[in-house]
Amino acid sequence: MTAVEPDTAKPEGFVDNDEKPVGYGRMLRKEDPRFVRGLGKYCDDVELPGMLHLAILRSPFAHAKINGIDASAAQAHPKVKAVITGADLAEQGLAWMPTLSNDVQAVLATDKVRFQGQEVAFVVAEDRYSARDALELIEVDYEAIDPVIDVRKALDPDMPVIRDDLEDKTDNHCFDWETGDEEATNAVFDKADVVVSEDIVYPRVHPAPMETCGCVADVERVDGKLTLWSTTQAPHAHRTVYALVAGLPEHKIRVIAPDIGGGFGNKVPIYPGYVCAIVASLVIGKPVKWMEDRTENLVSTGFARDYIMRGEIAATKDGKILGIRTNVLADHGAFNGTAAPVKYPAGFFGVFTGSYDIEAAHCKMTAVYTNKAPGGMAYACSFRITEAVYLVERIVDCLAYELDMDPAELRLKNFIQPDQFPYESKTGWVYDSGDYEPTMRKAMDMAGYEELRREQAEKRERGELMGIGISFFTEAVGAGPRKDMDILGLGMADGCELRIHPTGKAVVRLSVKTQGQGHETTFAQIVAEEIGIPPADIDVVHGDTDNTPFGLGTYGSRSTPVSGAAAALVARKVRDKAQIIASGMLEVSVADLEWDKGSFHVKGDPSQSVTIADIAMKAHGAGDLPEGIEGGLEAQICYNPDNLTYPFGAYICVVDIDPGTAEVKVRRFIAVDDCGTQINPMIIEGQVHGGLADGVGMALMEMIAFDEDGNCLGGSLMDYLIPTAMEVPDWETGHTVTPSPHHPIGAKGIGESATVGSPPAIVNAVVDALKPYNVRHADMPLTPSRVWEAMQGTLQPPI
């Protein structure tokens, strides 16, 4: 028998390769063994003794007055425990709740319904089938009101006022917002050789995570403590809001986010259903489960986008971009429920100047109410950077079209140069670091760009339609510095706590919450890199407000830039303390110790060393510690980022279009991302892949549309189409690494880059393919019908 030397340097799951990232690199995920066994525990898997089931009655009308509700038949159903209407909630002062944008939203409609699918009443019954049955027994007397559906007409003087619940409200205006310098921008437009304008619509889409939203509320009868298992991306923020809404003392609320089946921003807001379940458990004294069905998810929870943009770009005749300006009409639905930092009602749309060094920029925006579901910021949008990047990458292509310039060449000519970083954009965003040209060149090399253009030219000769689309994006993620950013007054910082147990194993507690991003792995890796304990020996605890420090949660690609920084810094704090204890153990001064990823040794004498495990035992053990040092080896911090981080990437998409049927086939997609320092390249690639598929969805098929009566036409997965494996290519990914100067490990975040960057690449490719038809722009979703109409010159905006 041959003795096998255990390779202690490589933790379980480690895959050796030539990548040299921070931490343990491409290691397999710690969460997977439970998921592949079907042992993940999602919200609907929570089962409590005596648990009841809640179902919500929703409005069939987009806009209607409620004259009365008769719930008596439902109440008489033998398995029904309670039927609650808006009037019942109003008695408790709970009929309305604040949204994350300082508006209010009805928990249950009292006066009237304002969108199809709005919550009107709920039933609590012994089982989910009976709860659903009882909904049929509730009679609601509606009186229809003309709905406001066409966003372009929402501010017309004769339109019905949707938000007559707001004092003195006489129109459907939601807010105005402006950024940049109008005068300076007009000046560069006046002097420009070329000005190109285009109307660009980013239609309403939906994140549609595979798991819908839901919760289990359990109010303990004796001490009144509420435990809420909930599909939330932000458990701590939700806890505070529940305290503010329901008047429950915050220490009597425990929010647990169990495994979450995808979020993408859909699980950031607080939905009426959660509040209903809490009320039900309070009233009935039993645990209550609410899980929405797919239709409820699609028609009532946080949608995304819905921006109607007029984009304009000014340039010299040789292709130097001078300025960009835009006018935006934003559809916010019936309530302003966007989840954005308070000072940023349009999110980070202000980065619409993209990756280009220009002289001036200006944006003017008007947001309106319509009789549609609330929401607006979701679907991996990085707080509206999806819309901003789509606008700039589309309008730059329109400019290339007018100048008859290669779109890659035009972009290369206008990039912000490496020596300009940190770069302050003309709308006031300070890009932390970047080196754009190598990323662009790498993507072009991977694609074989010149060869593709040659192939395209040949195919055009033969009447075949092939398109090559480019997008180069810069993101702004990791919200955010507390001086600028808060949600409902809560600063966007993140706590992190690290404890090293006496035997040298560790537990790290996060304020953020994975919905598939792999936090249990990557956060262990970050801590591992800093403290030298293998990731397998580090337990990651998250998603439970009773057991984790406060922080604002996982969305806007903020986990790595904010919470990841917190994890690195808390580990360094523990390491500093460990160094002091080590100095006592080795009887040398702190300055005479050297760190060697897992152990301290005396400078010049590596044989004199103590490991973190030795130090941890000492810290918890008998005997004196150096003066002023408390026992134990743990620390907690709250990290407030100095700035956002600015990941970027170059995407190239190749499409073929059947000239007879106008069907688009995405043949290739090349994505080169730069998210700064990489923690786990396998997980990064996975995140990019998912976002690219989102892009195919939005560009080619996804849309939440409404008919003129306000009926939602995308209320099931039969109608709201999400790409399958048949519509997407095998992704070709690459990367460059430009670390963030202010992040402790130089990481920038990757969660949303591909969702942000891919739609314009695909649309640009389709438009490029249609050049023989003189098409300069075509709005998403580019279904076969819409592509064919673009070829006929008859294509209309989708909304």
Partner 1 sequence: MQVPAPFEYERATSVDHAIALMDRLGSEARLVAGGHSLLPMMKLRLANFEYLIDINDLHDELGFIRVTDDEVRIGAMTRHRELLESDELAAVFPIFRDAEKVIADPVVRNRGTLGGSLCQADPSEDLSAVCTTLNASCVIRSGDGERIVGMEEFHVGPYETAVADGQMLTEIRIPVRAGGSSAYEKVERRAGDWAVVSSGAAIWMDGANIADARVGLAAVGPNTTGIPGIAEALAGQPPSDELFAQAGAIAAASANPSTDMRGSAEYKTHLANELTQRALRRAAARAQEA
Partner 2 sequence: MQVTMSVNGEEVTKEIEGRLLLVHFIRDHLGLTGTHWGCDTSNCGTCVVWMDDEPVKSCTVLAAMAGGRTVRTVEGLEVDGVLDPVQQGFIECHGLQCGFCTPGMMMTARALLDENPNPSEEEIREAISGQICRCTGYSTIIRSIQWAAAKEAETPVTVGSAS
Q: Write out the residues near partner 2 by the rule CB under 8 A.
A: 28-29, 31-33, 35-42, 44-45, 47, 128-129, 207-212, 259-262, 264, 293-295, 515-518, 682-683, 685-694, 716-718, 722, 724-726, 728, 730-731
Tell me the sheet residues that pair with 329.
Answer: 308, 366
Residue closer to partner 2, measured from CB, 37 or 483: 37
Q: How far apart are CA 52 and CA 83, in angstroms?
A: 13
**What's the min distance (Å) between Cβ of 212 and partner 1?**
8
DSSP H helices in 352-447: 385-403, 407-414, 436-447
Q: Between vectors from CA 517 to CA 514 and to CA 523, what angle results, nearest 5°?
A: 75
784 binds, among partner 1, partner 2, none (CB under 5 to 8 A by kind): partner 1
713 binds, among partner 2, partner 1, none (CB under 5 to 8 A by kind): partner 1
783 binds, among partner 1, partner 2, none (CB under 5 to 8 A by kind): partner 1
**What's the min distance (Å) between Cβ of 663 and partner 1?**
6
Residue closer to partner 1, measured from CB, 67 or 661: 661
Q: How far apart are CA 49 and CA 703, in angstroms?
A: 41
37 binds, among partner 2, partner 1, none (CB under 5 to 8 A by kind): partner 2
Q: What is the CA radius of gyration of the chain?
A: 28
Residue closer to partner 1, measured from CB, 484 or 719: 719
**What's the min distance (Å) between Cβ of 130 and partner 1?**
9
**What's the min distance (Å) between Cβ of 345 and partner 1?**
31
Give how far Cα 755 sits from Cα of 201, 383, 435, Å: 17, 12, 21
Residue closer to partner 2, measured from CB, 133 or 435: 133
Q: How far apart are CA 737 and CA 676, in angstroms?
A: 5
CA-closest candidate to residue 305, choices 197, 390, 179, 395 = 390
Under the rule (CB under 8 A), what is the footprint of partner 1? Answer: 128-129, 132-133, 136, 291, 293-295, 660-663, 701, 705, 713-714, 716, 718-719, 721, 723-724, 726-727, 783-785, 788-789, 792, 794
Residue closer to partner 1, measured from CB, 124 or 493: 124
Q: What residues contact 533, with CB distance under 8 A and at least 6 apart?
A: 500, 504, 505, 506, 527, 598, 612, 613
Q: What residues contact 732, with CB distance under 8 A and at least 6 apart?
A: 446, 447, 668, 669, 670, 671
**What's the min distance (Å) between Cβ of 448 and partner 2?**
20
Residue closer to partner 1, measured from CB, 265 or 781: 781
683 binds, among partner 2, partner 1, none (CB under 5 to 8 A by kind): partner 2
Amino acid at site 250: E
**What's the min distance (Å) between Cβ of 799 and partner 1?**
13
**What's the min distance (Å) between Cβ of 44 and partner 1?**
9
48 binds, among partner 1, partner 2, none (CB under 5 to 8 A by kind): none
Residue closer to partner 2, measured from CB, 508 or 688: 688
Q: How far apart are CA 63 and CA 369, in angstroms?
A: 12
Residue closer to partner 2, measured from CB, 287 or 641: 287
Q: What residues contact 500, with CB distance under 8 A and at least 6 apart?
A: 506, 531, 533, 574, 578, 612, 615, 616, 619, 633, 634
**What's the min distance (Å) between Cβ of 763 and partner 1?**
16
**What's the min distance (Å) between Cβ of 692 and partner 1?**
16
How do strand 52-58 and strand 288-291 relate by DSSP bridges? parallel
270 contacts 580 by C-beta, under 8 angstroms? no
- How long is the chain? 799
Give how far Cα 448 sits from Cα of 256, 444, 477, 653, 773, Å: 49, 6, 31, 12, 25
Residue closer to partner 1, measured from CB, 306 or 359: 306
